[in-house]
Amino acid sequence: MSKKFVNKLEETVDDALFGLVASNKDIQFCKTSKRVIHRSQINTENVSLIAGGGSGHEPYAAGYVGKGLLTAAVAGNIFASPPSRNVQTSLEATKGKAGAILFVINYTGDRLNFGLAAERFNASGGNARVVTISDDVAIDNPNNRVGRRGLAGAVLTIKIAGAMSEEGRSLDEIYDMSQNVVNSLGTLGVSLYPGSQPGKDRETDLSNDQIEIGLGIHGEPGKLRASYESAHKIVSDVMATLKAKMEMKESDEFVVLVNNLGSVSQLEMGIVNGEVLRWFEMEKMKVTRFYSGTYMTSLDGHGISVTVLRADESMMKYLDAPAKAPGWVPSLSHRNQAEQSHSDKNAPIEVKSTGTSIHPDLVRECLNGVVKAMMDSEDQLNTLDAQSGDGDCGSTFASAARAIQKAEALDYEHLETLLKQLSVIFEQTVGGTSGALYALMFSAAAPELHEKIESNTILEALKKANHAVQKYGGARVGDRTMVDALDAMVEDLGKGLADNAGLDVFERAIQASENAAKETAHQKASVGRASYTSSESQTKPDAGATAISIWFRAFWTAFKEEMGKTNK
């Protein structure tokens, strides 16, 4: 069963509406129905605008009750149309001289119940019209008499109509404009997985490597299923379909609305926004207004929809008019892609070449060995990190490895310079705690390799790296961090070199580092992110300690292999 912040399941909608009204003084419950909310101050001289439908699509529709938008909203149960008597109640509660418009997203239950309410209201002396919003371009069956489903294009329709009502426009003018807007709209959605209702499991047979294209906002299947790929590919496919269905051409101008279907993170939304705007730039079409946010959801569905509106000047005027409602998010002040500047992460890392020379092929192969190990251990380290962290340790180092592979003009001949370059790479491309720690280590170690490179200077470089991490990171041996593996390497190497044990000291020191990493499984973290977790979650070796022991092993293995080639 999905976990939600709810009380009694049967009271979920009522509790949500109570919270909405309690936190917004400009709206209130209708005195005769707890499922109808309307403005606290109603201007009966203006056309009343009412929308609604099943709950679960918040902020639609109740979140748009306010100045410049809706006069009232009617809420049904989750994914269920409200009964016609509640719709009629909303008409009676907002009745004025100018008449009313009911906005219906094109689903059978909504059409029936809103249509019946309008007929009864008109029969009793009222004057109500119905605008059916049907913007889903995924529905293209010519034999489908029901027409397209209603999606997030409803929000733009309501915004334009709301501004017109606020301006005192007539029922006919608002109705005609609304019909024109609907005919100029197109929306297509895509989901990685559907929403889940309170008290129920997430019902889907969608596999992890698939996405649903053209889904409805009640979780119903879409037009087709496709392979899960990059955000760029997903957005490009969505926009290509919209282009074909809407007959979008070069130099055309559009209002664009990117809608979060419920649980897409702001990080992902930023990526999607960029991809949508980049597509318009590539297609040489102009985005006149750009909206992005949570406008019409499918509970906690993990997906987005993109709406395009071919808007004329009068529509633009009303879109730009002031509006105030709990769920309304105004347009963003976007810019053309050409105006943006991008930092080039692959630009040469400008570090002055210093330090004694060394055989560049040897250094290159050793670094390549570490980079390969970073890539190969991604899943292993992520799994370890997920036990008591955020599960991204492996991905972080894999990202660092890719950055190293893409870096230009790395100085393999001067190890001091190379370490400084690696410090910059970790600082600029990895970021976070790991980026800072490794940048610190490389920066502290580099000066020790300025004059000569031998076993003792390598030891001194490792000592400086160890000291810097402990000084600024705060970790000590026994704290279940990378320090345990690093310090073990330093200590064992120091003892071996003092005993003049030859190159075998490096093998033994790396073994000591590996053993120290394994021992962290029996330690309790007192610093770092793991220190905030329970001891029950700290039963596997620390990912950071394991990582650095893997890098030591990879470097040493590559070194021996390359030296073996040289000695043949």
DSSP for residue 331: P
Binding-site residue ranges for substrate: 54-57, 110
| Helical spans, DSSP H, in 407-502 | 415-425, 432-445, 455-473, 482-498
Cβ partners under 8 Å of residue 303, min gap 6: 189, 190, 191, 192, 193, 194, 212, 215, 261, 262, 264
Structure tokens at 335: 């810019």
Find the catalytic residue in 38, 218, 302, 414.
Answer: 218
Is residue 393 a contact partner of residue 547, using CB atoms and an 8 Å limit? yes
Query: Residue 335 class from Cβ within 10 Å (0-12 exposed, 13-18 middle, 19+ buried)?
Result: exposed
**467 part of the active site:** no
Q: Count of CB atoms within 10 A of residue 293's CB?
A: 18
For CA atoms 22, 200, 383, 367, the dihedral sign is negative
Q: Which two tokens stand for residue 562?
A: 């390359």
Burial of 556 (0-12, 13-18, 19+ CB in 10 A): middle
Tokens of 239: 């926009």
Residues 42, 39: Cα–Cα separation, whole Å: 6
Annotation: binding site:
54-57, 110
Distance CA 11, CA 14 (A): 5
H or E stretch including 287?
strand 286-293
Query: At a CB cut-off of 8 Å and minimum separation 6, what does 457 contact?
Result: 448, 449, 451
Query: What is the spatial distance between Cα 483 and Cα 441, in angstroms, rounded to a whole number?
Result: 11
Tell me the one-letter amino acid at 456: N
**What pairs with residue 33 in β-bridges?**
30
Q: Which residues contact 458 (CB under 8 A, 6 or more apart)?
A: 449
List, as one string, the DSSP characters of 147-194: -PPP-THHHHHHHHHHHHHHTT--HHHHHHHHHHHHHTEEEEEEEEE-
Name every residue whose Cβ is closer than 8 Å to that of residue 57 and which is 6 or more positions away in sequence. 217, 296, 297, 298
Look at the alpha carbons of 259, 262, 267, 272 in this order and tell me if their dihedral is positive or negative. Answer: negative
- What's the CA gap between 173 and 226, in Å, rounded? 43
Residues with a known catalytic role:
218
